[in-house]
Amino acid sequence: MVILSQNAGSDTKKSAGVVTDDFNYFVEQFDDIRVLKYNLPGFENLSLKQKEYIYYLSQAALAGRDILWDQNFRHNLLIRKTLEAIIESYSGNRETLEYKAFLIYAKKVFFANGIHHHYSSDKFNPGFSAASFANLINSSEKEKLPLAKGESSDQLINLLTPVIFDEKLFPRKVEQKAGTDMVSGSSSNFYEGVTQKEVEEFYAAKTSLNDPHPISLGLNSRVVKVKGKLTEEIYKSGGKYGKAIDNIIQWIEKAINSAETAKQKDELKILIEYYRTGDLKKWDEYNIAWAKNTDPMVDYINGFIENYEDPLGMKATWEAIVDYTDIEATKRSKIITANAQWFEDNSPIHPKYRKEKVKGVAARVINIAMLGGDCYPASPLGINLPNANWIRKEIGSKSVTLANITIAYDVASRGNGFLEEFAFDQSEVDRIKKYGSVSDALHTDLHECVGHASGKLAHGTDPNALKNYASPLEEARADLFALYYIMDLKIIELRLLPGEDAAKASYDAYLRNGLLTQIVRIKPGKDIEEAHMRNRSAICHWVFEKGKAGKVVEFVHRENKTFVKINDYKKLQILFGELLKEIQRVKSEGDFEAGKKLIEDYGVKIDARLHSEILERYAKLNLAPYTGFVNPYLTLKFDANGSIKDVCVEYTSDFLSQMIYYGKKYSFL
């Protein structure tokens, strides 16, 4: 494999081992993005069958890459293939400022899986001219350009130039501004030729509030208007995205032969049936089987799962991961899940919205072996699935914390000056340095293991009632669950934290981020749009306002700099509990107006003066606010008889090279 040998470099390791500080996590930094690699600790200790299983699932995780690109925006694949052709075959001078600006733009597009920022949803400013773009195309090999039969380079230029360069065309991937038609205003490719009102009426007619096991309407489809009527294009073999889905199926079929247990084989067979039919009842059947398989050494997710990119919170992007258990670290999450009923019974929410019996909360700490789709290059730190409320209530859920991803973040961020710049005082710095890693990990575990798994809907509540506010409210609910309990004596009793100072470190970091530092990701004059950021902003500004009278939390100004000071951690915990109670009520009752008010009043707007100050302070640190990853390369090693004898791991330090390689090997649409 030529691309691997070219990218090996001095820090390439041929096999995965224990994480040590001499592993070079850093790959590169450009614009507002930092790219890292992640290690695969203990991979060499897995059995050959487990490694084979990981390999085949990893290929399935990469085979659906094109799907996400097309879901993000209908012209993304054509743009990506044009960028790839230019990078591979441009014959002009590659040292000019224009070409270097083009290369930065291309990297940003590759990172975001499209021409809109992965977090802000704003369309990228190319940073080079339309004339330069035309020259880049005309100076590249015509055979490599994505031209239709009989199409000229000029036709390609005429099509793509306004799409890329006109600021008024397709300005946002996801539009969530209240009072607008969010469907028409979004560039994401879930709808075509329809309005928000039409879509809501279309699905309202299909919704049965009396169905105890409702399917996730619209999860795996695109809504279009045909001869004046709305219809769904279903994602399935033989349907929308069929060629990519067929390749996913092919690799899953191979994985079945390497699966260790009958449970694994059975769930994969159901997943294949779902991909072949697009039947959402089959998707629920698969999720039940997957959720019941609570203790696999090797596991995965693969499908149309999260709905963050749909302005109406219904349609899911395609994503995949492959992972294996970190046995030692999983002991922590098992303690949490063993006490899940205690957490539920003692929650500050109204008793009628608590689960009488928490079922099937299975939690593990994992190491990622491959990221795909909407988990790549930007990766989550924790996952809790399935999403269907009735499955979570009746069957349970599985929660994972991504250990090797978290370690990569931590090690790569040491000594960058960020903490010292924004922490209130030295005692806060010391607390974070001593307890930050353990308290962050525990927050993630509580959020995923018991936060998302807690609470229930009132009978007859439409699971889609909160619409575009559902995601930030659900993330806030899980965050608040973790924040409320991390200060509880039960946590120390269970030996999950060494003491109260560790809990304080969690509160320090959360409030500092939600009130100050997360806004470095937002451009001046813009609102907060991303669901997780809205969640954190809403929580922090709500407790700040409610605690004003008692100065529970305050802003302190020193040398023209703003800092967050927490004066009463116990009262802050009480406020977290009060907000958790209200957000659970909002979700349980489907109170759209109350949920909208909470997010709009506390989670969206940014103080312009404070924003300017924080951006200026952050800029001096020369850091990137967004982080993503390159994947390792997994290859099969054969013996003299042609039998598989091992799966080899090779790390790369070339982000762009991986993008080009993936474009060649995993492009099916």
What's phi and psi for 95, nearest 5 deg? -100, 0
Does the residue 130 lie in any domain?
A: no
Query: Tokens 């441009």 identify what position?
Result: 90
> In angstroms, rounded to a whole number, what is the distance separating the alpha carbons of residues 648 and 645?
10
What would you measure as the largest C-alpha separation in the chain, in angstroms?
77
Q: Cβ-count burial of 410 within 10 angstroms (0-12 exposed, 13-18 middle, 19+ buried)?
A: middle
- CB 455, CB 477: distance < 8 Å: yes
For residues 585 and 648, membership in a common domain is answered with no
Does the residue 44 lie in any domain?
A: no
- Nearest CA-CA partner of 203 in 185, 212, 190: 190
Joined together, the tokens standing for residue 40 give 């695969």
> In angstroms, rounded to a whole number, what is the distance separating the alpha carbons of residues 533 and 605?
11
Does the residue 403 lie in any domain?
A: yes
**Beta strands 298-306; 626-630: pairing state:** unpaired
Does the residue 154 lie in any domain?
A: no
DSSP state of 557: E
Does the residue 485 lie in any domain?
A: yes
- H, E, C per residue of 146-192: CCCCCCCHHHHHHHHHHHHHCCCCCCECCCCCCCCCHHHHCCCCCEE
Burial 245-268 (b: 16+ CB within 10 A, else e): bbbbbebbebbbebbeeebbebbb
Percent pLDDT > 70 in the chain is: 97
pLDDT of residue 36: 97
Joined together, the tokens standing for residue 292 give 């019941």
- CB 355, CB 456: distance < 8 Å: yes
Kindly compute the dihedral angle of the four CA atoms of residues 80, 85, 86, 92, in this order, to the nearest 10 degrees. Answer: 180
Does the residue 164 lie in any domain?
A: no
Does the residue 287 lie in any domain?
A: no
Does the residue 529 lie in any domain?
A: yes
What's phi and psi for 301, nearest 5 deg? -130, 145
pLDDT of residue 15: 31
Sorted by sequence, the CB contacts under 8 Å of residue 275 that are 6+ apart come out as: 236, 237, 245, 248, 249, 252
pLDDT of residue 463: 86
**Terminal-residue alpha carbon distance, the chain:** 24
For residues 531 and 654, membership in a common domain is answered with no
For residues 579 and 658, membership in a common domain is answered with no
For residues 538 and 666, membership in a common domain is answered with no
For residues 487 and 573, membership in a common domain is answered with yes
- Residue ranges of the chain with pLDDT lower than 50? 1-20
For residues 522 and 648, membership in a common domain is answered with no
pLDDT of residue 2: 24
pLDDT of residue 210: 85
For residues 608 and 644, membership in a common domain is answered with no
For residues 399 and 492, membership in a common domain is answered with yes
Domain around 665: 1-35+639-669
For residues 575 and 667, membership in a common domain is answered with no
Q: Give the tens place of pLDDT for each residue, 105-136.
A: 999 999 999 999 998 899 999 999 999 999 99
- The total number of structural domains in the chain stands at 2
For residues 518 and 657, membership in a common domain is answered with no
For residues 579 and 656, membership in a common domain is answered with no
- The string of DSSP letters for 295-307 reads --SEEEEEEEEE-
pLDDT of residue 240: 98
For residues 605 and 646, membership in a common domain is answered with no
User: What is the model's pTM?
Assistant: 0.87
